[in-house]
Amino acid sequence: MRSNVADSNQKNRQELERRLAEFVREEVIPREDLTRAHDRDWFQYTTTELAGIARAAGLYGPRLTPEHGGLRLSWSDCCWYFEQVGRSFLGPAALGCAAPGQPDIAVLEHLATEVQARRYLHPLVAGERRSCFAMTEPAPGAGSDPKMLRTTARRTAEGWVIDGHKWFISGAMVADFAIVVARTEEGVTWFLVDADNLGMRRVRDIPTMEPFDIGGHAEIMFENCQVPADAILGQPGRGLEYSQWRLEGARLFHCMRFIGLASRAMETAQGYVNQRRSHGVLLAEHQLVQGMVADAHIDLYAARLMTHDVAQRLDRQDAIRHESSMLKVFVSEAVNRVADTAVQITGALGVSEDMPLSMILRMLRPFRIYDGASEVHRAAIGKRVLHRQITP
Ligand SMILES: Cc1cc2nc3c(=O)[nH]c(=O)nc-3n(C[C@H](O)[C@H](O)[C@H](O)COP(=O)(O)OP(=O)(O)OC[C@H]3O[C@@H](n4cnc5c(N)ncnc54)[C@H](O)[C@@H]3O)c2cc1C
C-alpha cells in the first residue's frame, strides 16, 4: 500500500516535471527577446502574460500554498522545478518564484503579523504588490560586512524615523514596499516601508551588466522617513539574524535556477561544436574541446548534488549556515566556469547577442558578489572549521 502511494507521488512528480519542461521550452523560451534585455515594460508585460498561462496550467508558484494558487513543493522538489524554470531569463518571474519577491514572501510568512500579512504578504503573493530588500549601503556603510550598517531608526512618539542611504536594491524601481534594515537602540531591526512614503526617495536606477532584471538596482535615500510603530517586521534587534536566514533561502534558489541557465549554455555550445568544423574535423572531435565539455559536466553534476543536499537539510529543518556558504561559493563559481566555457567553445558567436550565451554570462557573473562574495564565504568557512575543529 505504502509503495503504491510512493509510486503515485513519483508519477505525479514526473508528470509535473515533464509539463513544466514543456512549458519552459515551448512557451517561455520562445518569448525571449535578447534585444529587450533592459526593457522593463516589455519584461513586465511578457512575464505577466506567461504567469496567467502558467496559473491556468497548474504550474505556478513552487513555494506558494495551494490556497494562494501554488504548489508548495518541498525544498528538494524545488531543485528540479527551479532548474527547469531557470533555463529561461523570463522563467522565475513568469512562474512566481523570482527574487526579491520569493525570499521576501518566505520571511513575511514567518514574521508578519496578521495586519502586516493582509497589507504586504497577501498582495505580494497575488502579484498585486512588489517588494524589495534594502540592506546594502555605499561606503562607509554596510556591504560585505553587515556590522557596518549606518542607516538608523529613531523612536518618536508616533513611531519611528528612518535615515540612511542604500544602494543596489534589486527590484526597488518598481517595488511598492521595502523591507529596510536599520540600526535601533535594540540592535539591527527590520522595517516595512511603503514606497510612496515621502521620506523614501529613489535617487536612480544603477545600470549593471545584469540583463532582464525585474525592477533595477536602485540607489535610495531615506530622509526623515516616518513610519508607524507597527512598521517593525519581527522583533527589534534581530535584524542580522533574520538577514542571514533570508539569505540562506535566497542563495539556495539562485543556485537551483542558475544550474538551469548554465546547463542551457552548455547544451547550446554542444550543439555548436557538433556542427562546426576546424582543422579537418568537427570541433567536438578535438580533445581540448572534449576536456572542456567534460569539466563543465563535472561542475554541473557536483553543483546539482550539493544543491540537493542543502535542500534536503532544509526539508529536515537542519541548520545550514555552513553548508549554505560552501554551496554558494561552489555553485556560483561552477556555473560561471560552465558559461565561460560555453562562450569560449562557441567562438565569436558565443560573445554575440545572436545567441543567449553572452547574456547568460552577464546574468551569472554578479552571483559571485551578491548574497555574500566568494571571499567572504571562504573566510567564514575557514574560520568556522578551524575554530570549531570541524573534521573534513
Ligand atoms: C546584481 C546585484 C543585486 C543586488 N541586490 C541587492 C539587494 O536586493 N539588496 C541589498 O541589500 N543588496 C543587494 N546587492 C548588494 C550586495 O549584497 C553587495 O554587493 C555585497 O554584499 C557586497 O558588498 P559591496 O558591494 O559593498 O562590496 P564590498 O564590501 O566593498 O567588497 C568588495 C569585494 O571585497 C572583497 N572582500 C570583502 N570583504 C572581504 C573579506 N572579509 N575577506 C576577503 N575579501 C573581502 C570581496 O571580493 C568583495 O566582492 C546586490 C548586488 C548586485 C551586484
Question: Residue 3's pLDDT is what?
Answer: 66
Q: Where are the domains of the chain?
A: 2-98, 131-237, 240-388
Q: Where are the beta strands (DSSP E) in 242-366?
A: 277-278, 281-282
pLDDT of residue 8: 79
Q: How far is the CA of 332 from the centre of ligand 1 (A)?
A: 14
Number of helices (H), then strands (E), in the chain:
13, 10
Q: For residue 222, what are the β-bridge partners?
A: 164, 200
Q: Which helix (H) or strand (E) segment is 114 a member of?
A: helix 114-116
pLDDT tens per residue across all 392 residues of the chain: 556 777 778 888 899 999 999 999 999 999 999 999 999 999 999 999 999 999 999 999 999 989 888 999 999 999 999 999 999 999 999 999 999 999 999 999 999 999 999 999 999 998 899 999 999 999 999 999 999 999 999 999 999 999 999 999 999 999 999 999 999 999 999 999 999 999 999 999 999 999 999 899 999 999 999 999 999 999 999 999 999 999 999 999 999 999 999 999 999 999 999 999 999 999 999 999 999 999 999 999 999 999 999 999 999 999 999 999 999 999 999 999 999 999 999 999 999 999 999 999 999 999 999 999 999 999 999 999 999 999 88
Please identify, in words, the CATH class of the domain defined by 2-98.
mainly alpha
What is residue 136's predicted lDDT score, i.e. its pLDDT? 98
Closest CA to 184 of 148, 227, 150: 150
* 240-388 to CATH, choices 3.40.50.300, 2.40.30.130, 1.20.140.10, 3.40.50.720: 1.20.140.10
Indicate the SS3 state at residue 359.
helix
CATH class of the domain defined by 131-237 = mainly beta
Contact 113, 230 (CB under 8 A): yes
- Nearest CA owner, ligand 1 atom 43: 375
> Of all atoms in ligand 1, which is nearest to the CA of residue 210?
1
Q: Which of 38, 104, 136, 222 to mutate to test the pocket of ligand 1 (most atoms within 8 A of CB)?
A: 136
Ligand 1 site, residue 370, Cβ cutoff 6 A: yes
